[in-house]
Copies of this chain bind each other. A is one copy, B any other.
Amino acid sequence: MSAGDGGADPARLPRDAQALLARARDGDRAALARLLSIVERGGARAHEVGRRCHPLGGRTYTLGMTGAPGAGKSTLTNALIVELRRTGRQVAVLAVDPSSPFSGGAILGDRVRMGDHVLDPGVFIRSMATRGHLGGLALATPEAVRVLDAVGVDWVVVETVGVGQVEVEIVGAADTTVVVVNPGWGDAVQANKAGLMEIADLFVVNKADRDGAKETVRDLEQMLDLTELGDWRPPIVCTVATTGEGVKELLAAVERHRAFLETGGRLAAKRAERLRDELRAVVAARLRARADALVDDRERAEVEAAVVDRRLDPWTAADRLLTGVDA
C-alpha cells in the first residue's frame, strides 16, 4: 500500500463520506486513504467523517513510538509489523515525524523500508500532514486514528519524533507509549529533558549491539528511580531492530502493558480521559472560529493597529475583541 491515495483509480471513488466509509470497511484501501485525506484537511467534511466513525470505534489498540531522529523508530516499527502480521492482525502506521522514512515524499526522496509491506493488504502506512487542518497535528492525529479504528484496524502505530511539544503530546496519547533511545550517555538525558520520562510506558534501547548499551539501561533505571511512578514501572527492552533481535521481547512487553491496562478498568479510564481532552480541544477550536466570525473586520483592524503601535497590549486587546462573546 502506498502512502498516498494509490491503489484503485481515485477518480472512481464516491465523494459522499458515508459511501466512502462503507467501502473502506469493505477493505477498499483507496477509500480509506481518501477518508484520511479528508480528515487531514479538517473542516466540515472532516467532522462529518469523524461523526460517522466515532460510534463504530473503540477497538483499535494504539502504540506510540517516539525517540530522536535516527534512533531507529521506523526500523523497529517495521520489525513489529512483521511480528504482528504473524498473528494475522491488521496494522496501520501513522508517521507524524518529518525524520521518519515512512513519511516519504521528500523532494530528493528517501522512501525506504516501508517497501517491505507494499504487497501486504494487512498493512496500511500513512504519513500524516495537516494540509490545512486548523487544529494542527494535535487534532488531526486522533481523527485519523478514529477512521482506522472504524475501519477495523487492530493496531495503529503512531510514530513521532520525541522532541517537539505537540509531537510528545500526540505520542503520549497512545494506549502504550514506547520511547526509543540509543546506547550512549546523551540519549537518556535528552529523553528526560524532552519530557519523555513522563509519557513512557516502555523504553527500548535500540542498536543495543553498540558500546554503552548497559550504561544506558542503567541511566534509564536511575532516572526511573527519580521519577514518580504509578502502579507501572516502565520496563527497558534492548533491541537490534535491523536484525530483529529483541523485537519479540518488545512485543511481549507491550502485551504485558496492555494486560496491565485491561485490569481494573485502567484502559477504559485512559481512553475516556483522552476523549475528554479531545473534546476540550474541539471546543477551543470552535470558539476560535466563532470569535473570528464575531468580530467585524474594521474593529479587528483597529485593535490590531493599536497593538502594533504599542498603544494597547495583547491582553487588553483580546478583552476588547471578546466583549460580545460573553455568555
Contacts and interface: CB of A to CB of B under 8 A. Distances in A.
A223 B304 CA distance: 36
Contacts of A195: 98
Contact of A290 (B161, B163, B168, B325): B325
B276 A307 contact: yes
A144 to B, nearest CB: 14
Interface string A42-64: 00000100110011011000000
Given A68-B69, A192-B107, A324-B327, A291 B284 contact: yes
Contacts of A27: none
A267 interface: no
Interface stretch (A4-12, A72-80, A311-319): A311-319
A136, A223, A314 pick with most chain B CB within 10 angstroms: A314
A181 to B, nearest CB: 12
Interface in A92-113: 98-99, 103, 106-110
25 contacts: A47-B315, A50-B313, A51-B316, A54-B310, A55-B311, A68-B99, A69-B163, A98-B163, A98-B195, A99-B193, A107-B223, A108-B189, A110-B189, A136-B165, A164-B168, A165-B165, A279-B304, A279-B307, A279-B318, A283-B288, A284-B284, A284-B291, A286-B322, A287-B325, A325-B325
A19 interface: no
A275 B189 contact: no
Contact of A276 (B137, B192, B226, B304): B304
Nearest to A142: B314
A135 to B, nearest CB: 11
A181 B164 CA distance: 18
Interface residues of A, number: 75
A72 B53 CA distance: 45
A262 to B, nearest CB: 17
A154 interface: no
Chain B CB within 10 Å, residue with most, of A185, A219, A280, A318: A318
Given A107-B189, A279-B317, 7 more contacts: A54-B314, A99-B193, A164-B165, A275-B307, A278-B314, A279-B307, A287-B322
Contacts of A138: 165
Contacts of A318: 279, 282-283, 286
Given A69-B163, A275-B308, A327-B324, A282 B314 contact: yes
A58 B166 contact: no
A167 interface: yes
Nearest to A143: B314
Contacts of A190: 69, 98-99
Contacts of A178: none
A44 to B, nearest CB: 9
Contacts of A237: none
A194 interface: yes
